[in-house]
Amino acid sequence: MSRIKLGAYNTLTVQEVALREGNGERFGLYLDGGAAGEILMPDKYVPEGTEIGDEVSVFVYLDQDERPIATTEEPLAQVGDFAYLECSWVNEYGAFLSWGVTKDLFCPFREQKKRMEIGSSYIVHVHLDEDTYRLVASAKVEHYLDEQPQGYQHGQEVDLLVWQKTDLGFKVIVDNQYAGLIYENQVFQYVHTGDRLKGYISTVRPDGKIDCMLQPAGQRHAADFAEVLLQYLKDNNGVCDLGDKSEAEDIKHRFQVSKKVYKRAVGDLYKRHLITVEPLAIRLVSPY
């Protein structure tokens, strides 16, 4: 079989029952780890009905004694991922982050930008330390970002992880691989470090950085929002107290869109003879 991937999901075959020496008490199953040898899956993680010869999908990491162990717990990140993890405790060597499995993920002091504090959360990269072959986290995430994005097109949908607030807007990690930025004037909703969002490519700059948007570009977004606005009118007695003369901030607060998008959607509904338009309101045409 291929080499075991630490910090990742592996499909392994159940080899035998794990029994304690002396009393013969069962405490788990041994999985065939190939060159890595037998890998224990403790009983508390064994799916009901699992038998010898079955294949199981398990996450493999190292236990307190640095031995591979298999679990059906679902980690918040795998090797190669960026994630927003909470610090659960600190010792003289570094911090330990909760990541969804029993043993916390270690972030040594040298991989921290500032000393991590218990209860606070941080964007980190998960990887195997080349020297110790241990799973570790690093808050120096810029060292693990690819600087040469390929093939992105304007308007293409991408996955975003919000990294940090800046004077320009929000730094984001695009598709778990590239650095991106959403400008402040493109944000029409509450955004916080650690949020995972759908976004859209605006521009790939010559330096490899990506400008992103949280809304699809142009007419497509206006058309999508027109249906949202129509439903809002239906749910609110056919009236919305925002019109052409309303403040952009009021529109942003209510619908998390720009005034430009709002006006396009209003225009779309008006052309379809679904609404009447006033300076400070729109109304559904009765009866609708």
**Burial class of residue 282, CB neighbours in 10 A (0-12, 13-18, 19+):** buried
Q: What is the token pair recorded at 254?
A: 């209510």
Q: What is the C-alpha to C-alpha distance for residues 32 and 29, in angstroms, rounded to an integer? A: 10
Per residue in 97-150, pLDDT (tens digit) is: 999 999 999 999 999 999 999 999 999 999 998 888 889 999 999 999 998 898
pLDDT over 70 for what percent of the chain? 96
**CA distance linking residue 159 with residue 133, whole number of Å:** 29
Average pLDDT estimate for 25-46: 92
Does residue 195 surpass a pLDDT of 60?
yes
Q: What is the pLDDT of residues 60-71, one digit of tens each?
A: 999 888 889 999
Average pLDDT for 251-258? 83
pLDDT reported for residue 1:
43
Segment 48-62, tens digit of pLDDT: 999 999 999 999 999
More confident residue, 76 or 262: 76
